[in-house]
Chain A
């Protein structure tokens, strides 16, 4: 019956309760939606980084990481890839030949990273082929000899377009500098302009022929797993199995991204807690008013036999119901808003032109897991409990003999 009384009590002063509920609703809505924006942004960046740049895991010759020298390669990369592909956690794996080079056109030149790939196998690991617009050529098709796929930003820098020629000057395995003429088959554009400006994709065989590199070897093996969560465990498994090679997860390859993801949860809850803390003071104030208004009634309840534990419980439940009503309303509005923008996205390019410079998409697709909603509900309940302590203690300190004579 105390539960029912507590619930009915919050509607005794409808306006006051609705003001508090509205404050909590908007607070939770703001917290949930901003958390979903942050999470959506990072999630998309993570997905994009894994799909287009790092994959889940990369394997290298340990010395290659020190100075990316042509000579520090993985022996018999094909057999290694074949062996890795047999593992159940694997979605796909692909070998790469990676060499720093100078890219020159008739009007410009710049340093680039040339990625020698096997296009059909690379398709199963990275999604660059999906990032070529219809008007921007194809993924290695349409050009017979030495096709390359380059980033939009690089194309702008080199002032070239599809079918344009680009000269790559590279160190060959014998130490000499060699040059090869390549033709642009396609131009890709990811959300990471730095990546687009630095990378050229060429066929493994073309690059190996130019540099006299043994086609059985590779500088990098990129692995895509069935689930991102498997990355750490699988990397450990691989590093134990192939102890002479260096195994890195996406977190190690892009530590800034790894750190962002690690801290994201803390940041999401941190902002939620700050909002709830501010709301908590408002709730305490309201509940103090409630207690002061009901001194006589509380005195009568104590007089007729309602003990302190029950008085405390009643005040606490009122506070929790008040907070939770606003909290749930805020969550519902938040979920609706997230659903609305989850697929259409929010275009912030007008306000954040530099987004793509740091690898983030200028269109944000808010998304957040159910665990965050559950965490929000629990934190709202906790706020209600904490906010009720002071008013409830005030109520408990009342002297029933004096309280029943109070006239308010």
Chain B
């Protein structure tokens, strides 16, 4: 089942002297349960592509259809609601709310969705268990290692029950052991719960785990390989 369908998207940034074609006519589609790495050199357009898929940025042309909804046609406020209920995000380090505990960070997104206290409580504990941090539920981010913070971020991304998760360089600030643990958790969630993960990454360890690798250069897809 197709989760995301991208048709001919282009994105140009109007720099002062020369316009930059960050994404230059990309067509892609993603199926439910895929574990995809988008790779490419710096400035190739992979983060812009991820932002467009996540509705954080709008393309100049083309369309992105997520589960039948053309997100390019949504207003900014409807897009925020759409993101809340359909897309999970994992960024590089430091993306948790520092004043909330690990559990509260996960509950927060469900709070935005208007879920009940009982549901928030049980699901946040369940998610913390699935990322192996049930014993750190009441720790604030500054008491967690970088790897643990990213695991909480994954749990938070899953809390809203999204259709897929976008992860922008999730291992960029992690040591190899933390990277390994994080990747194992995400791979497990992908296989056992059929959750779609799309990464943008430079990290060879992520690429190695991916079952589909899309290479982007100069805003174009130069290869799309299933492993």
Residues of chain A touching chain B, judged by Cβ–Cβ distance below 8 Å, are 1, 5, 8-9, 11-12, 296-297, 300-308, 310, 400-401, 404-405
Contacts and interface: CB of A to CB of B under 8 A. Distances in A.
Nearest to A309: B77
A305 B112 contact: yes
Contact of B85 (A11, A305, A310): A305
Interface string B88-117: 010100110111100010011101110000
- Kindly list the 6 A-B residue pairs having the minimum CB-CB distance in the complex, ordered from nearest: A305-B84, A8-B99, A401-B56, A1-B111, A401-B57, A401-B51
A308 B78 CA distance: 11
Contact of B94 (A8, A11, A296): A296
Given A304-B156, A305-B85, A401-B56, A310 B112 contact: yes
Interface residues of B, number: 31
A305 B160 contact: yes
B83 A9 contact: no
Nearest to A308: B77
Contacts of A404: 56, 91, 95, 168
Given A8-B100, A308-B77, A303 B109 contact: no
B80 interface: yes
Given A305-B84, A307-B81, A308-B77, A300 B91 contact: yes
B54 interface: yes
Contacts of B112: 304-306, 310
A332 B113 CA distance: 39
A8 B83 CA distance: 26
A304 B89 CA distance: 6
A104 B57 CA distance: 97
Given A304-B83, A404-B56, A5 B51 contact: no
A10 to B, nearest CB: 10
A1 B100 CA distance: 10
A11 B99 CA distance: 9
Interface in B54-69: 54, 56-57
A304 B56 contact: no
Pick the most buried of B80, B98, B113: most chain A CB atoms within 10 A of its CB.
Answer: B80
Given A310-B112, A400-B56, A404-B91, A304 B99 contact: no
A404 B113 CA distance: 22
A303 B55 CA distance: 9
Interface of B: 47, 51, 54, 56-57, 76-77, 80-81, 83-85, 89, 91, 94-95, 97-100, 104, 107-109, 111-113, 156-157, 160, 168
B55 to A, nearest CB: 9
A353 B107 CA distance: 67
21 contacts: A1-B104, A5-B97, A5-B100, A9-B99, A12-B98, A297-B97, A297-B98, A301-B97, A302-B80, A303-B54, A304-B83, A305-B85, A305-B109, A306-B84, A307-B80, A308-B77, A308-B80, A310-B112, A401-B51, A404-B56, A404-B95
Contact of A12 (B83, B99, B168): B99
Nearest to B51: A401
Nearest to A10: B99
Given A12-B98, A307-B77, A1 B84 contact: no
Contacts of B83: 303-305
Contacts of A302: 80
A1 B97 CA distance: 12
A305 B51 CA distance: 14
A215 to B, nearest CB: 83
A320 to B, nearest CB: 17
B108 A1 contact: yes
Contacts of B76: 308
Contacts of B80: 302, 305-308
A339 to B, nearest CB: 37
A401 B51 CA distance: 7
A304 B88 CA distance: 7
A266 to B, nearest CB: 42
Given A300-B95, A401-B56, 11 more contacts: A5-B99, A8-B99, A303-B89, A305-B80, A305-B84, A305-B85, A310-B112, A401-B51, A404-B56, A404-B95, A405-B47
A404 B51 CA distance: 10
Contacts of A306: 80, 84, 112
Given A5-B100, A401-B57, A304 B77 contact: no
Given A12-B98, A12-B99, A404-B91, A304 B109 contact: yes
A1 B80 CA distance: 18
A296 B77 CA distance: 19
A398 to B, nearest CB: 11
A344 B157 CA distance: 64
A9 B98 CA distance: 9
